[in-house]
Amino acid sequence: MPTFTRKVQKIESRAGLSSVISTVEHQKRRVAAYARVSTDSDEQLSSYEAQVDFYTRHIKSNPEWEFVNVYTDEGISGTNTKKREGFNRMVVDALDGKIDLILTKSISRFARNTVDTLTTVRKLKEKNVEVYFEKENIYTLDAKGEVMITIMSSLAQEESRSISENVTWGKRRSMEEGKFSLAYKYFLGYKKGDDGILEIVEEEAQIVRKIYQMFLDGKTVRTIADYLTGLGIPTPKGKEKWSVSTIISILTNEKYKGDALLQKTYTADFLTKKSKKNHGEVPQYYIKDSHPAIIDPATFDLVQQEMGRRRPNRRQLHKNSPFNAKIICGECGGYYGRKVWHSNSKHRKQIWRCNRKYEAETVCATPNIDEPVLEAAFVEAFSKVLSNKEQHIVRLEKMLPTLADTSSLEKQLDEAQNRHADLMDSLRRYMEENTRQIQNQEEYNRRFSEQDAECKRAEEQITQLKEEILAQSGKKEQVNRCLEELHKCGDTIEEFDLNLWNTMIESVTVFADKRLVFLFRDETNATVQIPEKQKLTKTT
């Protein structure tokens, strides 16, 4: 068998060789610097100004360098580069060939996210742009640069995680002690007091009270928003136009009644700083009577009850009429809604009709009713109340002590919350135990499901008890308002009164035989029969 002698010839590279002697004068390196501080505190800003001054003088003092710029970001976290305008502008300029070398204090000043750091450095390397990290003494075009950057950047990222966890821990300890802060700049009605406790700004508080009163007067959130916009009152964020969501937020924020629910949201990712709504992932803290109230608790609870009453049909929150969510079909139990007939003619009128009238195979026989007929029927029904006014007053006064006493429900709520806390603690210990030692996973999953179901039942009980307490508190405030109106009323009323309607009426049920049954807040009824001469609109 023949043998082969391998002959290897090396083909030299011509890289770096040139037959032409360079006559080009040595060019200066175009040098920039990057400086960043992560908060807006005076101490950090002085550090920021010192960095800018140092790098400007340092670059200009080197005869081999040409000063480009010192790119800066103030009060911005380094964990993500997306919102750092100065940083991003510097990278664009470097990739456009305007920079050869970037100086920065350290990897942690450049970015605390490993991925962002390496991605940016590699982009710059492709354009032959070097970054020098002063603290770590790393040049990115050096052979060992990328390995060192990977290690150091990972350490910086873990440092950022540790700082984030420490900040979170500190905030939660403060919450447990009843301490909290607000974005006062965007919160209507309060400013930070000298002692750190919320202090009422009366001029803004008047706007908050107006919003609550308008809602209880039957105005919709859209009407309230348009009203404030029309007056030229700026929103909490200083915008000209009020939105429905802003009004709802003000109407449902417990801080206006002097309480505070903390940790409604939480930071789900320390790198992106993305915030999520807290659905039980982290603890919440409720502080009662934590600061002066703008809205008294009874009025606040009444608004929440009214929000709940209108919410089943969300349109009721946005349509503007005192009759919304109060007129009920006696056949199907659905709400009546307002319809406009002959909208483009002189015969235009508004009628009320069952919203479900044509949804089922059998059409509801309850009639359509003109709006003036509803108003006249209320006058007649309330006149019956006034004829026995003293009896109604006595009845309402007897209701108050029972409604005012929520101690039994609150005791049940405390017991349910304590039980839920114990169940959650037990569930967490069970999960930790499973991570420490090997268990039968089928048995573990079975027991976990049982304990988890028990926790959910406890949560449902807590929700139900809170709703019962809210309903009772709202009912108490309604009774107080009824008493106030009855004491002010004479013996008769001559025309429809919007305030009396909102205060006194729970609901009106319409029957096919043209009876309107008014349910008052004291749980008494008054029936009004609509005579034919008042023209009920025929059912179609």
Q: At what angle do helices 114-126 and 85-95 cross, to 10 degrees?
A: 30
Checking if the pLDDT of 17 tops 50, the result is no
Checking if the pLDDT of 340 tops 60, the result is yes
Burial degree of 365 (CB within 10 A; 0-12, 13-18, 19+): middle
**What pLDDT score was predicted for residue 412?**
92
- Spell out the SS3 assignment of 375-427: HHHHHHHHHHHHHCHHHHHHHHHHHHHHHHCCHHHHHHHHHHHHHHHHHHHHH
**What pLDDT score was predicted for residue 404?**
83
**What pLDDT score was predicted for residue 400?**
87
What digits encode the pLDDT tens for the residues 241-280? 999 999 999 999 888 998 887 766 655 444 445 666 766 5
Q: Which residue shows structure tokens 């081999």?
A: 64
**What pLDDT score was predicted for residue 25?**
52
Nearest partner of 511 among 530, 496, 535, judged by Cα: 530
**What pLDDT score was predicted for residue 539?**
39
Checking if the pLDDT of 15 tops 50, the result is no
Would the CA dihedral through 199, 203, 204, 208 be positive or negative? positive
**What pLDDT score was predicted for residue 157?**
57
What is the overall mean pLDDT for the chain? 78
Do residues 154 and 136 touch, judged by C-beta distance below 8 A?
no
The residue-averaged pLDDT of 473-492 equals 86
Checking if the pLDDT of 12 tops 50, the result is no
The residue-averaged pLDDT of 89-93 equals 93
The residue-averaged pLDDT of 30-41 equals 76
Query: What pTM value is reported for the model?
Result: 0.54
Of the candidate ranges 127-141, 242-256, 341-355, 503-517, the one whose mean pLDDT is the lowest: 341-355
Higher per-residue pLDDT: 42 or 195: 195
Nearest partner of 255 among 194, 168, 197, judged by Cα: 197
Of the candidate ranges 265-274, 381-390, 465-474, 489-498, the one whose mean pLDDT is the lowest: 265-274
**What pLDDT score was predicted for residue 93?**
95
What digits encode the pLDDT tens for the residues 174-229? 555 556 566 778 889 888 877 777 889 999 999 999 999 888 877 888 889 999 99
Give the domain ranges of the chain. 29-163, 179-313
Higher per-residue pLDDT: 172 or 479: 479
Do residues 205 and 294 touch, judged by C-beta distance below 8 A?
yes
The confidence band for 69, taking pLDDT boundaries of 50, 70 and 90, is: very high
Helices (H) and strands (E) in the chain, counts: 15, 18
CATH topology of domain 179-313: Hect, E3 ligase catalytic domain fold (3.90.1750)
Written as six digits, the tokens of 168 are 């979170």
Checking if the pLDDT of 536 tops 70, the result is no
Long-range pairs of 482-491 with CB within 8 A, sequence gap ≥ 24: 482/396, 482/520, 482/521, 482/522, 483/393, 483/396, 483/397, 486/389, 486/392, 486/393, 486/396, 487/393, 489/386, 489/389, 490/386, 491/386, 491/387, 491/389
Checking if the pLDDT of 34 tops 90, the result is yes
Residue 481 CA to residue 217 CA, distance in Å, equals 12
The residue-averaged pLDDT of 103-107 equals 86
For residue 362, give the DSSP letter: S
**What pLDDT score was predicted for residue 9?**
39
The confidence band for 90, taking pLDDT boundaries of 50, 70 and 90, is: very high
The residue-averaged pLDDT of 74-102 equals 80
DSSP 36-67: E-SS--HHHHHHHHHHHHHHHHHHHT-TTEEE
Is 29-163 a domain of CATH 3.40.50.1390?
Answer: yes
pLDDT > 90: what percent of the chain?
Answer: 22
What digits encode the pLDDT tens for the residues 419-461? 888 888 888 787 777 777 777 778 878 888 888 888 889 888 9
Residue 336 CA to residue 370 CA, distance in Å, equals 12
